[in-house]
Amino acid sequence: VNADYAVILEQAKGMTVNFYGWGGDEQRNKWLDNVVAPVLKDKYDITLERVPMDIDQILAKLSGEKQAGSENGSIDMIWINGENFYSAKENGLLFGPFADKLPNYGKYIDVDAEENQKDFGYPIEGYEVPYGKAQMVLINDSAVTPETPKNTADLLDFVKKYPGKVTYPALPDFTGSAFVRNIIYDVVGYEQFMDMEADKETVKEAIEPALEYLRSLNPYLWNQGKSFPASSPEVNNMFADGELYMTISYEPYSITVDIAQGTFPETARSFLLDSGMIGNTNYIAIAANSPHKAAAMVAINEIISAEIQASQFSEMKILPVVDYDKLSAEEKVLFDSVEIGIGAIPQDELLSKRVPEMPGNLIPIIEEIWQEEVVGK
């Protein structure tokens, strides 16, 4: 332990630290309360309090406190990524840089990896630390449709063979929007978007071949592409009921939970497009006016430990953020021994097909163009 971190550990002792974030996932809430909190208490005498709140409310609260000049804020740790991180960092609402103060950051994280340098195209610069990874997968029922499309040409054949049985959530649904970006990548590649200007005409010109492709799917989609289901859970339910033959998830292992709970048939399988599937990372940041920065840093350092990351992988099937090559032999066992369950794709195969998210400022532009150029066309 370096001297600076030893001081942080000492300061953190006896502190109560809160963790603000979306509270809609009961499994995660239980895991934080029953696994992470006891570890922080036992090892560091830190009390973790989970505060469920939607990110827009969190940012509004931080912003209000900043305007009121409050030095002692009410928020410590924040679960965040993408455009929310961008606006929080741009508006001076976050503490940092702090990542390099955490011993486990250098020990377990591949600090040079694209997703630890940039979050949806925006430089991180040590203002947040990775917490979990997500990645798109497509899902079908192998008993009903043995084919698994490997590219957009295959997907067109698939929807023609099973008319009315495929659709995707209407944008701006998170999963629907990511699916459309994945189609764009398959048709025109992803590199050109990494530093593209957030200009509607520029974006439209770049994605025109993909818009053409999406329109070509419409006649064969559910409701002929005149309308799209409102949300990702709705598409999952339609798949579970056999009304659709395909669904989409941004959580690559949620399929195993759906099969285990009997929501999806045991013959459901996930598959990938050969050109790659979009992956993103979610992170933890610290509020600029957090009164418990030491405890927040110790808590985050523990969350990126091999043990807690392996626990998150086994309990919740969330892709770990640690670099497998940096783990000791004993630590590797923690990850190797996790039973993934039926229907999922092994982690090494997923990661070999992982492609970066698009810069956050292009996403609303694409969503708007989709509404105008694809729906009902």
Q: How many C-beta atoms surround the C-beta of residue 266 within 10 A?
A: 13
**3-class state of residue 225 by DSSP:** helix
pLDDT of residue 288: 98
Ranges of each domain in the chain: 3-127+281-341, 135-276+355-373
What is the chain's alpha carbon radius of gyration, rounded to the nearest angstrom?
21
Q: How do residues 242-276 score in pLDDT, each as one tens digit?
A: 999 999 999 999 999 899 999 999 999 999 999 99
How far apart (Å, rounded) are the C-alpha atoms in residues 190 and 278? 10
Q: What is the DSSP letter of 345?
A: -
Q: What is the DSSP letter of 336?
A: H
How far apart (Å, rounded) are the C-alpha atoms in residues 238 and 101? 47
User: 3-127+281-341: what fold?
Assistant: D-Maltodextrin-Binding Protein; domain 2 (3.40.190)
> Amino acid identity, residue 173?
D
How far apart (Å, rounded) are the C-alpha atoms in residues 181 and 237? 23
Q: How far is CA 115 from CA 216, 278, 280, 283, 335, in A?
A: 33, 12, 8, 10, 21
Q: Between residues 327 and 341, which one has the greater pLDDT?
A: 327
Average confidence (pLDDT) over 354-368: 94
pLDDT of residue 136: 98
Does the structure show a pLDDT above 90 at 2? no
Does the structure show a pLDDT above 80 at 356? yes
Q: Examine domains 3-127+281-341 and 135-276+355-373 and report if their fold is the same.
A: yes
Q: Say if residues 126 and 101 touch (Cβ distance below 8 Å).
A: no
Q: Say if residues 74 and 61 touch (Cβ distance below 8 Å).
A: yes
Q: How do residues 190-222 score in pLDDT, each as one tens digit?
A: 999 999 999 999 999 999 999 999 999 999 999
Residues of the chain above pLDDT 90, percent: 94
pLDDT of residue 24: 87
Confidence band for 83, pLDDT divided at 50, 70 and 90: confident
**Exposure letters 130-166 (e unless 16+ CB within 10 A, then b):** bbbbbbbbbbbbeeebeebbeebeebeebbeebeebb
Confidence band for 25, pLDDT divided at 50, 70 and 90: confident
Confidence band for 331, pLDDT divided at 50, 70 and 90: very high
Tokens of 361: 């400022």
Averaged pLDDT score across all residues of the chain? 96
pLDDT of residue 1: 57
Q: How far is CA 56 from CA 46, 78, 293, 363, 365, in A?
A: 27, 12, 22, 18, 20
Does the structure show a pLDDT above 90 at 353? yes
Superfamily designation of domain 135-276+355-373? Periplasmic binding protein-like II (3.40.190.10)
Confidence band for 125, pLDDT divided at 50, 70 and 90: very high
DSSP 45-113: --EEEEEE--HHHHHHHHHHHHHTT-SS-S--EEEE-HHHHHHHHHTT-B--S-GGG-HHHHHHS-TTS
pLDDT of residue 182: 98
Q: Say if residues 48 and 19 touch (Cβ distance below 8 Å).
A: yes
> Amino acid identity, residue 27?
Q
Q: Say if residues 204 and 143 touch (Cβ distance below 8 Å).
A: no
State phi, psi for 119 to the nearest 5 degrees.
-120, 110
Q: Say if residues 99 and 105 touch (Cβ distance below 8 Å).
A: yes
